[in-house]
Amino acid sequence: MFLDEARIRVKAGDGGNGCMAFRREKFVPRGGPSGGDGGHGGDILMSSSLSHNTLIHFRFNPEHKAQRGGHGLGSNCSGQSGEPTILNVPVGTMLYDDQTGELVHDFAHPGETILIARGGRGGRGNQHFATPTHQAPREHELGRPGEERSYRLELRLLADAGLVGYPNVGKSTLISRLSAARPKVANYAFTTLEPNLGVVQVGDFPHTESFTVADLPGLIEGAHLGHGLGIQFLKHIERTSVIVHLVDVSDSSAGAEGNARPDPVADFRIITAELKSFDPALAAKPTLLVAAKIDVADPAKLKKLAAFAKRRKLPFFPISAVTGQGIDPLKFAIADLVAVHRPKPVDLDEPRAASVKPAKRKPAYPPPRPNARGRAR
């Protein structure tokens, strides 16, 4: 099951309470207060991982809590700090504050780790409240509560090329030809109900290159308003570098169950308008126009679409995913276009401003100052 949205609630660990204790040991005439500090509560971290590809592990477990800090003990013993909790998400996940809708972080690279809820500070024991005039203090602090936050997770697939078009134009068949992906292929609309990813190899060993291609569910007019599968899959196109737009040019009499559409140019314009209405940047992405199902093509439709591509100066590729005709030229053209427009890789060894590491905790109290003899007061 593919799950690309989730809401979670996180609660960092509470800090442990400070201890009130006094030393009552034999042969120690001046025992005094000896209450230890409480331990700090555990933080909650979120990290991007290549081992996950959906958010389904948050569906039945939306609440996450970190370990609380241990209470202070006598003999100046501090409580144990709580262990941090790490939540793994797929690369491409966007983290939003569920209350304000603000984007907190975009996990665009593997291995990114941020702090999403800070654990509470541990309370001080009574050893820190001793003064020359107050040598038997009974004051001690309670631990601070950990942060409690609500977040919304949204996964957007990271692919170099995205296949878009009307339902049943042959996108799933094409990705099965280009890669080892085996999506469901059937002779009816909306066969694809969830995106499929495939890795395409180009060239001969050892000079091979690869790119990822996403088979996105079919779009229809009004998709940006939520019609059909609508907005829930339009967002995945935002991550792609190249758009491969498939248009059905098959003959109506040869098309299965009347799925062939009368005007291929109108189909292209409608889907392009839907992409532009959802996000104007999508219409500006480099696009390859593909005439699908040329093995049963209507010559008039194919000629009209080819002339339209020439006027718009769009790379045009007539293919048949069933017979394999035109697949190799299309594959190499996608690889060349992806190589030009693919985002440059980020050096993970260099610190990124977006990544937030847990801050080193400062001591809850100033360290004791040495006296004239070099001993701590």
pLDDT score of 22 more than 50: yes
Q: What is the pLDDT of residue 46?
A: 94
pLDDT score of 344 more than 90: no
pLDDT score of 2 more than 60: no
Q: What is the pLDDT of residue 146?
A: 94
Q: pLDDT exceeding 90 applies to what percent of the chain? A: 30
| 44-53, 159-168, 174-183: the lowest-pLDDT one | 174-183
| 114-118, 159-163, 261-265, 372-376: the lowest-pLDDT one | 372-376
Task: Indicate where the chain has its CATH 2.70.210.12 domain(s).
Answer: 1-157+356-377
What is the pLDDT confidence band of residue 357, given thresholds at 50, 70 and 90?
A: very low
Residue 203, amino acid: G
What is the pLDDT confidence band of residue 25, given thresholds at 50, 70 and 90?
A: confident
Q: What is the pLDDT of residue 125?
A: 93
Neighbours of 11 (CB within 10 A): 20
Task: Indicate where the chain has its CATH 3.40.50.300 domain(s).
Answer: 161-341
Q: What is the pLDDT of residue 155?
A: 83
Q: pLDDT exceeding 70 applies to what percent of the chain? A: 77
Q: Which residue has the higher pLDDT, 215 or 338?
A: 338
Strongest mean pLDDT among 36-40, 350-354, 367-371:
36-40
For 355, the token pair is 């990544």
If 0-12 CB within 10 Å is exposed, 13-18 middle and 19+ buried, where does residue 200 land? buried
Q: What is the arithmetic mean of pLDDT over 336-340?
A: 86
Cβ–Cβ under 8 Å, residues 246 and 165: yes
Cβ–Cβ under 8 Å, residues 47 and 88: yes
pLDDT score of 127 more than 80: yes
Q: What is the pLDDT of residue 40?
A: 95
Q: Which residue has the higher pLDDT, 292 or 347?
A: 292
pLDDT score of 69 more than 90: yes
Q: What is the arithmetic mean of pLDDT over 193-199?
A: 68
Q: What element of type H or E holds 116?
A: strand 113-117
Average pLDDT, the chain: 79
Q: What is the arithmetic mean of pLDDT over 6-17?
A: 94
What would the pLDDT profile of 224-258 be if each residue is shown by its tens digit?
Answer: 555 555 556 677 777 788 889 989 888 764 444 44
What is the pLDDT confidence band of residue 175, given thresholds at 50, 70 and 90?
A: confident
pLDDT score of 37 more than 80: yes
What is the pLDDT confidence band of residue 63, given thresholds at 50, 70 and 90?
A: very high
Q: What is the pLDDT of residue 257?
A: 43
Q: What is the pLDDT of residue 198?
A: 75
| 72-86, 139-153, 357-371: the lowest-pLDDT one | 357-371
pLDDT score of 188 more than 70: no
Report d(CA 159, CA 211) in Å as an integer. 8
Q: Which CATH number fits domain 1-157+356-377: 3.10.450.50, 2.70.210.12, 3.40.50.300, 1.10.150.120?
A: 2.70.210.12
Q: What is the arithmetic mean of pLDDT over 145-162?
A: 86
Q: What is the arithmetic mean of pLDDT over 146-151?
A: 94
Cβ–Cβ under 8 Å, residues 243 and 159: no
Q: Which CATH number fits domain 161-341: 3.40.50.700, 3.40.50.970, 3.40.50.300, 3.40.50.2020?
A: 3.40.50.300
In angstroms, how far is the first alpha carbon of the chain from the final one? 63
Q: What is the pLDDT of residue 54?
A: 79
Q: Write down the pTM of the prediction.
A: 0.67
Query: Which distant-in-sequence residues (6+ apart) come within 8 Å of 40 by Cβ?
Result: 13, 15, 16, 69, 81, 82, 119, 120, 121, 122, 361
